[in-house]
Structures are given as C-alpha cells and as structure tokens.
Amino acid sequence: MAVIGPDAILNYLHVASHEQRQQGKAWYKTANAFAHGVADRYGIHPEQAAYALAALSPQQSWGANQRSLVLLLETNSTYGLGANIAKARRILAGESPSTVLAPPNPARVTGSKVRAFADCIIAGGRTSTVCVDRHAADVALGRRLAASPLPAGFITGARYETIAAAYRLAAQRSGGQFTACEVQAITWIVRRTLKHGEGRFN
C-alpha cells in the first residue's frame, strides 16, 4: 500500500481546471444552503437537516441523498439502509447527533465519514474537517483509476485521521487558497471526472 501523504492530493489539485476548483469550493456551500432550505420548509434546525442528510448518505448519490431526506420529512418513510434511516429519524426527533452517530463499540472507531460529512455541510466548506470516503482515500493514496476497490474496513481509526491530516497539509501547501474540506471536494470532482473517462491523469 502506498504511503499516505499530501503529494498525491496536490497532484490532483494541480490538474484541476478553474471550473473544477470553483465547483469544489462551492460544493459544501450549496449543501449548506440545501440544509437551511429544508430546515426552513419543515421547521427543523439546519444542523438537524445536515446530520440527517449525513446519516442517510452511505451508498447514495448526492441527489438521492437529498430526495431521501425530503421524503423522510414528508412521509416518515424513505429509501436507503434501514439502520441509517433509523438514525436520521432519531436526529429529526431531537436526539443529539453526537449520541446517535457515536460508535456502537467505543474500542472501534466507526462513523467518522458520516460525522465529518455533516460538519462540512454545517460549515459550508470553511473547515479543516475532511470527509474521507473511498474516493478521497484513493486520491490520497495516489491509486490508479483502474485499481481494485479498497478492502472493506480500510478507512477506519488511525488511517482515517492520517488521510484527513494529509488533506489538511495539502490545503496548507496550496497557499491558503482552499480549506482542507474544499481540497477534498475539488479532488473528488477531478477523480470522478477522470474515472468517467473525461481526461487522463493516471
């Protein structure tokens, strides 16, 4: 396995087009605006909307994630993983997200990505928190586009924090142009674009 550090992340950041950089900088701002809009419409707190979005997010596209939250608020039923729907319901009912999203086993760090995703939405991208999913890990590891999927359970515990730290260092090396959260969003967009065959990188 490759060494995790900022260099591979910076490689992606450097090849990002102006449009991709602008899209990445705006991604969490747009998500924040959506959370506020949902909160206003359904009479909940914006942080509840953000954490419920995050709870529902695993294995969903962003569009599906948005639709699943609105459906849950309107009908108290939605699509997705049953355990995640239950967590979203608890958050919308007023239970503390820190309790709902706490690891079931304190000895095993889980749910870091979900909590980070919510934090990035709440901050509108202006944060050093990094949402590390498999695409973010691929970028940090400098993995080739055709590489086999990362093994289940790879992004846990200390490795998650190591990857997040690499994004924070990459943000520092960008000369302060972007937060760590924005670097993750920009490089995610670049990776996804390349994965779908629009351009070449590795």
DSSP letter string over the chain? -PPP-HHHHHHHHHH--HHHHHHHHHHHHHHHHHHHHHHHHHT--HHHHHHHHHHH-TT--HHHHHHHHHHHHHHS--SS-HHHHHHHHHHHTT--HHHHTS-SSTTS---HHHHHHHHHHHHTT-SS-----HHHHHHHHT--TTPPPPPTT-S-HHHHHHHHHHHHHHHHHTTSSS-HHHHHHHHHHHHHHHHTTSS---
Q: pLDDT tens track of the chain, all 202 residues?
A: 567 889 999 999 999 999 999 999 999 999 999 999 999 999 999 999 999 999 999 999 999 999 999 999 999 999 999 999 999 999 999 999 999 998 765 555 568 899 999 999 999 999 999 999 989 999 999 998 888 888 877 887 889 999 999 999 999 999 989 999 999 999 999 999 988 754 443 3
